[in-house]
Structure 1
């Protein structure tokens, strides 16, 4: 689809003409020519930069509206293991948490980078494993926002934000009577 910049050009030229009338002879011809040159370059290239929106819509020149139907979520246990791992640390307890994706478009995902809290020794966790829903496991004791940068197989990039809190998931596991086990071998 070709974009028509003619209305934009006309608007800008009229605006420049109006400004020239208001400012009189003080208008610098060089600035005006630079602005017109920049507009021409934009029209010539017809490149509209990609824009990401809060609803995870990506808009670009070749793909005017593309969405990715996946969400970031977490659990304190996996259905396979069916137990919660915890480890005492001073006055608090850390819990092993599974961060992963759900949704109908999982088959379109190639890689996920989870941006964790900056206090983690490695605050970026990466998964390229679709067999486990692009999961990563972390040890945590509190809550913090996670930003997931999702790269699709076609190279599109989406960002999803997730407010991570192990407390709610831990309470859900307790209500389901998921067994708890103390495990401190791989705590970071």
Structure 2
């Protein structure tokens, strides 16, 4: 039976798929976001081929089942529950969600302010917005991916949050040195 599975390509004799799955589950950026999305109703914006937690509603511009065509999602199956841009979440009412999380997504939007205001709109008061971004103070993030429209440092991202208002800073810190940082904010109004 096992030989038949190998011949048909139905098994993973070297455990490559399991190793990749474990790598995704234990990725420091996923772990940094995990505590903010395990309960309540919320979205993982730009989920791509992996949602941070099964509890998340995956939102992505690519439809579920399609294959990613660029970057780290190339050839990977998209798992979105909702096919939409994260800057237009009209399928959600004002203050409907307990959390909004995203990993390496916000830098792709043309209008960051519009996007953050939309995320704020769908969050209830006390809701959490947790965002992981590439850190421009450590690496040239535009050179990494030409689809990046904006660059962020922890300091510049805090200025965006101040500008849109109604958020209290929970934390802003490095996740992966010389690569990324997390910003976590609680909606106050």
Computing the radius of gyration from Cα coordinates, the structure with the larger value is: 1
For CA contacts below 8 A with separation 6 or more, give which structure has more relative contact order: 1
**TM-score w.r.t. length of structure 2:** 0.24
